[in-house]
Amino acid sequence: MRARSLDDAVGTLKRDIGKDSREIQDFLVKMLRIEAVNPKVGGPGEGERANLLEGFMKDEGFSVTRVDVRDEKSHGALRPNLSAKLEGKDPSRNLWFVTHMDTVPEGSLDLWETDPFEPTIKDGKIIARGAEDNGQSLVASLFALREIRDLDVPLPFNVGVWLVSDEEFGNTCGIKHLLAHGYFRKNDLVIAADAGTAAGTDIEVAEKSLLWFKVTTRGREVHASLPRKGVNAHRIGMKLALDLDESLSGKYQYSDPLFDEPLSTFEPTKKEANVSNVNTIPGEDAFYFDCRLLPRYSLDELLADVQSKIDEYRERYGVSTSMEVVEKEPAGPATPEDSEIAVLLARAIRLVSNVRPRFIGIGGQTVGNLFRRDGIPTAVWSKVDDVAHEPNEYALVENLLNDTKVFAALPFFANSFHLADQTPR
């Protein structure tokens, strides 16, 4: 049915999604029953889940683009990526809702109150692995696309969804592949629906640079009763880790209030096992750091500082000390708060949810950073309780329906888009 105005469209979509609430909820439960743990950590991957989603989109009359990427790190498994879209007046531009199909493993089953792969509905929550990350927003974007089609309001540009693989472990077979092969355009608008807050007010427009590094110290292993014969790699490694912690935090002190954690952070995290018994002095020791650097700083400068400190310890203690970069993801440019995608999303949230949105930066990284690095302004948003990767992960049914309404409302504001008077205040 063709809605006559913007207000008419928004009112109609709210009623429609309310009437479809049980169908939307049931579909999320059905999808979560299909395990989609990333194969890079031993899971079955996204294949069966993708088949369900592709079938749903085709049954709804959408033409589906499927991009299967061979994953050499997962024994050659094919990693699926799915897309469907509605045609708009300007076919050269697309508004994309981007979500991911894969999940992390369930973790310790002892910490789950229910089967993580048999969704349970309790107290308005759908409890299952992947319910919040990223099942809620994925299903919301699908049903929002259906609602946009049914409202039959003229669209200024194409509106569609991308349901991607491999988000949880590097994006190599998902967003990175799609960007490299031209499936997104520089003038596209992107909503990465994969982070948020319980209030549903925070629109993420900036992310920090990420660096994970490993430092290995090699000394001389001896019996613990004869320490003068050896070189305790563990003791030197501990000193080095603490020295790095203090020196990096002392140098990179700029604070940016846009970010939820306004400072750059340098956290010693993982520690590898050295010796298996108490009475042996370790001859080798390894620790890791997780660094989240504000965009004003250079990752290369940070790496140079770490290497300088490592060289200092090598000379001081006469040990072999080395660094390995485990992960390095520089931050892309922030999405301007007055950009088209940021303003359109803010208007939709404000009207549908009756809350005043605000723009933030985060220390975690989403696929939004990959789009920004590729020159595509991107906003990251959903309304979630932030329980991703936790035991007893859940999605609130209320949030599932709210996201569906916001996503469905968003493209209609573009018909009368005026940047100056639509910026949230």
Residues noted as catalytic: 102, 167
Q: What tokens appear for 352 in the block?
A: 């549908």
The span from the CA of 147 to the CA of 140, in Å, is 10
Please count the residues of the chain: 425
Radius of gyration of the chain (CA): 24
Q: Which residues of 359-398 are buried (b: 16+ CB within 10 A; e: fewer)?
A: bbbbbbbbbbbbbbbbebbbbbbbbbbebbeebbbbbbbe
Q: What is the CA 39 to chain-centroid distance, rounded?
A: 18
The span from the CA of 255 to the CA of 349, in Å, is 28
